[in-house]
Amino acid sequence: MDLEQFIQARQNGTLRPRSPSQRTPESSRHLNTADIIEERMQNDGHRSWGFVIYRTTYASAQDWGRCLSRIHAATQECFEFYNGRDVLDLRKSTVMDNVRIFDGMDSHAIRKHFRQWVADHLVEEQGPQSQTTSHLSPRYRFAIQIDAEALESIVNEPDLTYLMLPADQRGWLKLIDADWFAGRWSTDEAYEAIEGITEEDVGWMKQPWSDVHGDLYTGCYDRNFWPAFYVRPPLFLEQKDDCHELR
């Protein structure tokens, strides 16, 4: 196809991607969340996917229920858009919810607990071959924490398109890197301490709650995701350039 034909096809709406998705033929399979997860699961030999979520606030059962409902609805909407109900059905919903164990737990304790959980449940969930493929799946490399501040941001976010909202009205949750360790990024610059860490990389960052099992999950397959997109709290990625902090 020459340039003139390309322009004509684009204007007529007949331009088709080189690797069309069987779920959404008008777009590439590399842009379809369901296709991406399905392909990665097949490559890894895995049977299920999905982040493990840690609840660390117990002040309001009503707010917690609303939070989970919003996440569930956003996930459903995402996979309906991509015609990926079959992949959604493979998502394993794992929520760590025990007030005696997790109430007020910080990211360091969550990371320790999560690492042990992975060691105890990996083979059970994915089979013996997962010993060599677990490092590829976001399910075993990252955990989600919802604490009091994150919960409030999620339940109070207005029912508008995320990017239409002012930065300080956008709901978020905490993405915890299970591979993090103190001193991983050694720099001479000292920052304000967060959970005792004065380094730039504190081992977790804020991420939009509505993308948790969509773009966030697929993005985490990339081994360079953390160094490429990490932003030190309390900032979001969108706020990095203007250094606008959340209230």
**DSSP string computed for the chain:** --HHHHHHHHHHT----SSB-SSSTTSBGGG-HHHHHHHHHHHHT-S-B--EEEE---S-HHHHHHHHHHHHHHHHHHHHHTT-HHHHTTB--EEE--HHHHTT--HHHHHHHHHHHHHHHHHHHH-GGGGGTGGG-HHHHEEEEE-HHHHHHHHTS-SS-GGGS-GGG--EEEEEETT--TTSS--S-----BTTB-SS--SEEEEEGGGTTTHHHHHTTSTTHHHHH---TT--GGGTTTTPPP-
For residue 160, what pLDDT is reported?
A: 63
Q: What is the pLDDT of residues 3-15, one digit of tens each?
A: 454 345 445 555 5
Q: What is the pLDDT of residues 194-236, one digit of tens each?
A: 999 999 999 999 999 999 999 999 999 999 999 999 999 999 8
Q: What is the pLDDT of residues 138-162, one digit of tens each?
A: 999 999 999 999 999 999 988 766 6
* Short-list 207, 213, 193, 217, CA closest to 238: 207
For residue 170, what pLDDT is reported?
A: 86
Task: Scan for tokens 């777009």, then name that residue.
Answer: 27
pTM: 0.87
Q: What is the pLDDT of residues 66-109, one digit of tens each?
A: 999 999 999 999 999 999 999 999 999 999 999 999 999 999 99
Query: Of the given ranges (112-126, 173-187, 197-211), which has the lowest mean pLDDT?
Result: 173-187
